[in-house]
Amino acid sequence: MKTVLITGCSSGYGLETARHFHARGWQVFATMRTPRADLLPRSPRLHVLPLDVTRPESIASALAAAGPIDVLVNNAGLGLFGALEATPMATVRDIFETNTFGTMAMTQAVLPQFRARRAGRVVNVTSSTTLAPMPLVAAYTASKTAIEGFTESLALELGAFGVQVKLVQPGYAPTTRFTANGAERMQGLIPEAYADYARSVFAQLGQSTAVTSEQDVAEAVWRAANDTTPTLRYPAGADAVALAAQIR
Active site residues: 140
Left (φ > 0), alpha (ψ -120 to 50) or beta: where does 125 sit? beta
Residue 189, SS3 per DSSP: coil
Q: Is 181 exposed, middle or buried (0-12, 13-18, 19+ CB in 10 A)?
A: middle
CA-CA-CA-CA torsion sign (178, 181, 185, 188): positive
Q: Report whether 236 contacts 220 (CB < 8 A).
A: yes
Instruction: Tell me the C-alpha distance between 230 and 190, whole Å.
Output: 42
Rounded to 5 degrees, what are φ and ψ at 164? Answer: -105, 145
- Sheet with 3-6: list strands edge to edge: 46-50, 27-32, 3-6, 71-74, 121-125, 164-170, 233-236
Instruction: Tell me the C-alpha distance between 28 and 157, whole Å.
Output: 27
